[in-house]
């Protein structure tokens, strides 16, 4: 019949129309009226009511809705009405039987997204490898060879403590497992790993913006993190203390200090627009909480519903409502601390009197109030979604740290993996949403997350031990280096996993990579013998070249450098001034100080070579290193060279190296040789 011949075609006419005008509210992210219009089978299925009766456009809800003139009924509810020809196409398509292709894929609903599903423990795959990680990674295949014992020792020390092994440690023939356990009990472990967490929580010692004032006593938070790691505070408790340590029934000075987390952000002490500034500060807390603990980019829902994730403005402002009762203690532009017992603590304060109401802000504008919202967790995590009662911050913290939360354990396990291996199983450590990367080994990730919560009871030290005892981590990086071009490993960018080898450069094997700047600097101090082991307390200020201060209007006052002894403390104790980052740290890729940093960048730029070869710091350490060699090895060149290689590289020089270095010393002073050794690739790229 002729009507069939002229019927509209689903693929050509209907689908594009629905996509353009309807799917924003009737698709994967939103299903208004329970209806999805983004696949034929779903259109036929209908929503709360049937949408389409094939052959009968007159009784089909969909057509009635687009034709309706009742503002409560008509679709789309906003924007232009459909044109006559568009309505005609819909009518024809329905009357001719509402035909849809059989094999049309149904876009996945965000609620089905992997990271929103509860963590279940998969079975360990059949494998000859007894270590669970190796069973997942290698299955029935052979594992790559382990690295040499010397290289492994150095790798372990640098990974867990950020310092190379001493000669005595190199000589003790302890089994690897014992070495791992020993390293995990050292205070240097917390000093190394706290820095990783400080990256995630945007730690800095100053506020940024114009005045960039110092945050008083913020270092107590830094010390709290170091202690928490050294004491192996269970991660769930660690989370709860940072978000709501002041609301805990067993709150303490320590748990109050932990809430410094909420106040670490940058902020403007002289804002042009105070209401917006207030919401900027709340945004800093909400966005960081979302990224750091949940791997969600909730901050994108501040001005509009998230365009790519199932996170609405209502979700966002429900989180704002949790933190809205907090205020920054201050007197004019000067920040105040909060007295807890006898101590000065850098944290926010609960407002006195009635709690402020929170509304959705239309387009993010403080002057355009939408619906009122109550504190709540994001609706998409409906499995465990909670409306948060009176102590809503504690409620949120407990919901995040709950073993039922599908994100928290996965996110932290992945962060730990990333630090050990060089790349996460999920390469976007702060984004586990639909736009984030899919896990390379989903079953391994889930097994680890489940094990971490249920077997290890949130113990990070147990998690480290598990990862470090695997062959996957202990494997040799020689093959990777062959692939990436050993002469210049810096060009091997993270994420460039390609190639045919079954275990080349994947996220599942130890990745050959440059140390973070803190570990480079601390290693130099350790090797030169200058490392000042003083722990905790106010930050120190390494000297900054005059040229770097030149541009500042108050260049005489802006940076009062500490004396050399104080400045020779570990890098984690460096004062991080947002407006003036110590050049060596900045050049070698310190984390962004303004927002949560999921992973350090590894750039390769010329100033790095200048910093490491010509910088004042490295030259000073080379001098100290030379003096140490003379002190400990006497005047014999062979002995000096041997000691230098053992201290810096954890190995003896080869005979070829020995010959060349001896020849070098004929014309050059020992400190020049030391400078060269501190600049070897091998020094900053643990094998
Ligand atoms: C801006 C959001 C929005 C857009 C765009 C939109 N809708 Fe809706 N739609 C809604 C809401 C909200 C409801 C539920 C409330 C109601 O029934 O009116 C709904 C309900 C419906 C229902 C009834 C579902 C049921 O089973 O009760 C139909 C049919 C429908 N829409 C069709 C359409 C069509 C066709 C388009 C595109 C031409 C469209 N809608 C575009 C928001 C939207
Ligand atoms: C400070 C307010 C604000 C924040 C925060 C914000 N956006 Fe937007 N965004 C807007 C405005 C305004 C528009 C334009 C109007 C609209 O589409 O609602 C827009 C539009 C968009 C669009 C549509 C672009 C287009 O070409 O039509 C996308 C996609 C988007 N935003 C993504 C994001 C993502 C991803 C984030 C988080 C990283 C984000 N937005 C955070 C204000 C914001």
Band of residue 490 on the pLDDT scale cut at 50, 70, 90: very low
The model's pLDDT over 220-275, given as tens digits with 9 standing for 90+, comes to 999 999 999 999 999 999 999 999 999 999 999 999 999 999 999 999 999 999 99
Mean pLDDT, rounded, for 87-107: 93
- Say what the pLDDT of residue 487 is: 39
For residues 381-395, average pLDDT: 72
Indicate the pLDDT class of residue 499, thresholds 50, 70 and 90: very low
Q: Which ligand is the nearest neighbour of the Cα of 430?
A: 2
Q: What is the pLDDT of residue 501?
A: 39
CA of 53 to the centre of ligand 1 (A): 17
Name the residue with higher pLDDT: 102 or 523.
523
Please state, in angstroms and rounded to a whole number, the distance separating the CA atoms of residues 355 and 322: 10
Atom 7 of ligand 2, nearest CA residue: 303
pLDDT band, very low/low/confident/very high, at 382 (cuts 50, 70, 90):
low
Q: How many CA atoms lie within 13 A of 316 on its CB side?
A: 29
The per-residue b/e assignment along 286-320, b for 16 or more CB within 10 angstroms, e otherwise, is bbbbbbbbbbbbbbbbbeebbeebbbbbbbbbbbb
Question: What token pair was written down for 366?
Answer: 């403080």
Q: What is the pLDDT of residue 491?
A: 31
**b/e burial code for range 114-129 (CB count within 10 A of at least 16 → b):** bbbeebeeeebbebeb
307 CA to middle of ligand 2, Å?
7
321-326 mean pLDDT:
96
Q: Check residue 483 and give its pLDDT.
A: 62
Q: Residue 295 C-alpha to ligand 2 middle, in angstroms?
A: 19
Range with lowest mean pLDDT among 88-97, 103-112, 379-388: 379-388
Rounded to whole angstroms, how far apart are CA atoms 88 and 344?
Answer: 72
Of 429 and 607, the one with more pLDDT: 429
Lookup: tokens for 233:
């505070």
Supply 89's token pair: 């196409």
Alpha-carbon span 305 to 313, nearest angstrom = 5
Å from CA of 39 to ligand 2 middle:
26
Q: How far apart are the first and last CA of the chain?
A: 76
More confident residue, 210 or 503: 210
Residue 329 tokens read as 């203690």
In angstroms, what is the span from residue 304 Cα to ligand 2's centroid?
7
Per-residue pLDDT tens digits for 2-24: 344 467 999 999 999 998 899 87
The answer on pLDDT for 401 being more than 80 is yes
pLDDT band at 381 (very low <50, low <70, confident <90, very high): confident
Q: Which of 78, 297, 299, 304 to mutate to test the pocket of ligand 2 (most atoms within 8 A of CB)?
A: 304
477 pLDDT more than 50: yes
Nearest to 586 by CA among 599, 576, 594: 576
Higher pLDDT, 64 or 548: 64
* Structure-token pair, residue 74: 């008509």
Residues near ligand 2 (Cβ within 6 A): 297, 299-300, 302-304, 307, 363-364
**Which residue has 């603990």 as its token pair?**
293
Ligand 1 pocket test: which of 21, 26, 87 has the largest number of ligand atoms within 8 Å of its C-beta?
Answer: 26
Atom of ligand 2 nearest to the CA of 283: 5
147-151, 196-200, 387-391, 519-523, range with the lowest pLDDT: 387-391
Average pLDDT over every residue of 633-652: 97
- In this predicted model, which residue has the larger pLDDT, 434 or 86? 86
- How do residues 28-54 score in pLDDT, each as one tens digit? 878 899 999 999 999 999 999 999 999
For residues 603-627, give the mean pLDDT: 93
Which pLDDT does position 488 carry in this prediction?
38
pLDDT the model gives residue 416: 98
Question: Which pLDDT value is given to residue 492?
Answer: 32
- pLDDT tens per residue across span 186-235: 999 999 999 999 999 999 999 999 899 999 999 999 999 999 999 999 99
pLDDT confidence of residue 489: 35
Rounded Cα distance, 600 and 602, in Å: 6
Residue 223 CB contacts under 8 Å (≥ 6 apart), including other chains = 536, 537
Cα 67 to Cα 80: distance, rounded to the nearest angstrom? 13
Place 357 in a pLDDT band, splitting at 50, 70 and 90: very high
Q: Determine the pLDDT at residue 306.
A: 87
* Distance (Å, whole) CA 435 – CA 296: 10
Establish whether the linkage from the previous residue to 409 is cis, with ω within 30° of 0.
Answer: no
Residue the block writes with tokens 């494997």: 475
pLDDT at 400: 96
Contact assessment for residue 432 and residue 411, using Cβ atoms and an 8 Å cutoff: yes
In tens, the pLDDT along 574-595 reads 999 999 999 999 999 999 999 9
Q: Which two tokens stand for residue 252?
A: 């303490």
Distance, CA of 410 to CA of 415 (rounded, Å): 9
Of 60, 76, 93, 305, the one to substitute when testing ligand 1's pocket (max ligand atoms within 8 A of C-beta) is 76
CA distance 237 to 249: 13
What residue's CA is closest to ligand 2, atom 17?
304
Ligand number with the minimum distance to the CA of 38? 1
* N residues, the chain: 687
Angle at 518 between CA 554 and CA 658, to 5 degrees: 120
Task: Report the alpha-carbon distance of residue 57 to residue 60 in Å, rounded.
Answer: 5
Distance CA 61, CA 308 (A): 28
Q: Which of 57, 31, 35, 54 is nearest to 46 (CA)?
A: 35
Distance CA 121, CA 104 (A): 33
Q: Tell me which ligand sits closest to the C-alpha of residue 52.
A: 1
pLDDT, tens digit (0-9, with 9 covering 90-100), for 289-308: 999 999 999 999 999 988 77
With the C-alpha atoms ordered 347, 350, 351, 357, is the resulting torsion angle positive or negative? positive
What does the alpha-carbon distance between residue 654 and residue 669 come to, in Å, rounded to a whole number? 21
Say how far apart CA 448 and CA 455 lie, in whole Å: 10
**Nearby residues of 67 by Cβ (< 8 Å), 6 or more positions away:** 87
Token pair 């990777």 in the structure block, residue: 480
Q: How far is the C-alpha of 251 from the C-alpha of 240, rounded, in Å?
A: 11
Q: How far apart are CA 509 and CA 487, in angstroms?
A: 21
**Residues whose beta carbon lies within 6 Å of some atom of ligand 1:** 21-22, 24-26, 32-35, 46-49, 51, 61-62, 65-66, 75-78, 82
Mean pLDDT throughout 488-500? 35
Look over the chain and give the mean of its residue pLDDT values, rounded to a whole number.
92
Residue 493 predicted with pLDDT over 80: no
Tell me the chain's radius of gyration from C-alpha atoms: 30
pLDDT of residue 555: 83
Torsion angle in degrees (nearest 10) through CA of 222, 227, 232, 234: -60
Beta carbons of 215 and 205 less than 8 angstroms apart: yes
* Whether pLDDT at 622 is above 90: yes
Phi/psi at 8 (5° precision): -70, 150
Distance CA 449, CA 472 (A): 18
Q: How many CB atoms lie within 10 A of CB 467?
A: 22
What are the backbone dihedrals phi and psi of residue 236, each rounded to the nearest 5 degrees, phi first? Answer: -65, -40
Give pLDDT, residue 126: 94
The residue contributing the CA closest to ligand 1 atom 10 is 32
Lowest mean pLDDT among 108-117, 191-200, 364-373, 592-601: 108-117
Q: How confident is the model at residue 486, as a pLDDT?
A: 44
Percentage of residues in the chain having pLDDT higher than 70: 93
Residue 325: CB atoms within 10 A of its CB come to 18
Q: How far is the centre of ligand 2, averaged over its atoms, from the C-alpha of 70 (Å)?
A: 31
Tell how far CA 115 is from the center of its chain. 16
Q: Which of 16, 19, 20, 25 to mutate to test the pocket of ligand 1 (most atoms within 8 A of CB)?
A: 25
Asked if residues 347 and 338 have their Cβ atoms less than 8 Å apart, the reply is yes
Nearest to 51 by CA among 31, 24, 79: 31
């Amino acid at each position: 019949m002729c009507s069939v011949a002229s019927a509209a075609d689903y693929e050509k006419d209907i689908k594009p129309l629905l996509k353009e005008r309807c799917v924003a509210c009737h698709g994967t992210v939103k299903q208004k009226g329970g209806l999805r219009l983004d696949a034929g089978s779903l259109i036929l299925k209908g929503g709360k009511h049937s949408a389409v009766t094939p052959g009968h456009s007159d009784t089909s809800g969909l057509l009635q809705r687009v034709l309706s003139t009742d503002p409560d009924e008509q679709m789309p509810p906003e924007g232009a009405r459909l044109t006559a020809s568009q309505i005609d196409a819909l009518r024809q398509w329905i009357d001719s039987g509402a035909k849809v292709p059989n094999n049309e894929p149904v876009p996945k609903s965000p609620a089905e997204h992997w990271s929103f599903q509860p963590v279940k423990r998969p079975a360990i795959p059949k494998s000859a490898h007894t270590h669970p990680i190796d069973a997942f990674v290698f299955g029935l295949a052979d594992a790559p060879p382990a690295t040499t014992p010397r290289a492994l020792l150095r790798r372990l020390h640098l990974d867990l403590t950020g310092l190379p092994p001493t000669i005595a440690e190199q000589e003790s023939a302890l089994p690897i497992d014992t070495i791992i356990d020993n390293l995990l009990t050292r205070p240097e472990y917390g000093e190394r790993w706290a820095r990783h967490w400080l990256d995630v929580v945007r730690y800095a010692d100053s506020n940024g913006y114009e005045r960039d004032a110092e945050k008083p006593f913020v270092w107590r938070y830094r010390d709290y993190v170091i202690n928490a790691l050294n004491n192996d505070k269970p991660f769930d408790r660690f989370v709860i203390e940072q978000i709501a340590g002041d609301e805990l029934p067993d709150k303490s000075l320590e748990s109050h200090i932990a809430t410094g987390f909420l106040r670490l952000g940058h902020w403007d002490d002289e804002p042009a627009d105070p209401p917006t500034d207030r919401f900027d500060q709340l945004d800093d807390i909400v966005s960081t909480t979302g990224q750091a603990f949940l791997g969600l980019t909730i901050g994108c829902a501040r001005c509009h519903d998230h365009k790519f994730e199932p996170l609405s403005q209502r979700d966002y402002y429900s989180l704002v409502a949790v933190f809205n009762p907090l205020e920054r203690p201050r007197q004019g532009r000067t920040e105040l601390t909060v007295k807890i017992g006898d101590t000065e603590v850098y944290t926010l304060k609960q407002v006195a009197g009635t709690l402020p109401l929170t509304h959705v802000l239309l387009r993010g504008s403080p002057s355009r109030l939408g619906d009122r919202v109550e504190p709540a967790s994001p609706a998409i995590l409906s499995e465990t979604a909670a409306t948060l009662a009176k102590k809503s911050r504690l409620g949120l913290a407990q919901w995040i740290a709950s073993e039922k939360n599908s994100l928290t354990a996965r996110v932290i396990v992945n962060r730990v993996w990333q630090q050990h291996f060089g790349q996460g199983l999920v390469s976007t450590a702060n984004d586990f949403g639909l736009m984030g990367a899919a896990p390379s080994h989903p079953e391994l990730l889930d097994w680890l997350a489940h094990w971490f919560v249920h077997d290890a009871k949130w113990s990070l030290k147990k998690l480290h031990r598990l990862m470090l005892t695997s062959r996957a981590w202990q494997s040799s990086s020689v093959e990777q280096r062959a692939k990436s071009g050993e002469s210049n490993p810096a060009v091997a960018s993270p994420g460039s996993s390609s190639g045919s080898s079954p275990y080349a450069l994947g996220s599942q094997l130890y990745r050959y990579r440059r140390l973070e700047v803190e570990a480079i600097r601390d290693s130099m101090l350790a090797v030169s013998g200058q490392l000042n082991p003083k722990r905790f307390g106010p930050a120190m200020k390494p000297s900054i070249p005059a040229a770097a201060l030149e541009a500042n209007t108050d260049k005489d006052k802006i940076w009062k450098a500490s004396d050399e002894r104080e400045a020779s403390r570990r890098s984690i104790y460096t004062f991080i001034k947002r407006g003036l980052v110590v050049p060596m740290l900045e050049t070698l890729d310190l984390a962004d100080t303004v927002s949560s940093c999921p992973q350090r960048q590894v750039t390769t730029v010329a100033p790095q070579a200048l910093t490491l070869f010509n910088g004042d710091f490295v030259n000073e350490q080379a001098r100290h290193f030379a003096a140490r060699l003379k002190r400990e090895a006497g005047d014999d060149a062979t002995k000096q060279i041997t000691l230098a290689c053992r201290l810096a590289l954890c190995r003896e020089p080869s005979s070829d190296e020995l010959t060349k270095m001896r020849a070098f010393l004929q014309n050059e002073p020992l400190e020049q040789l030391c400078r060269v050794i501190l600049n070897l690739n091998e020094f900053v790229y643990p094998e």
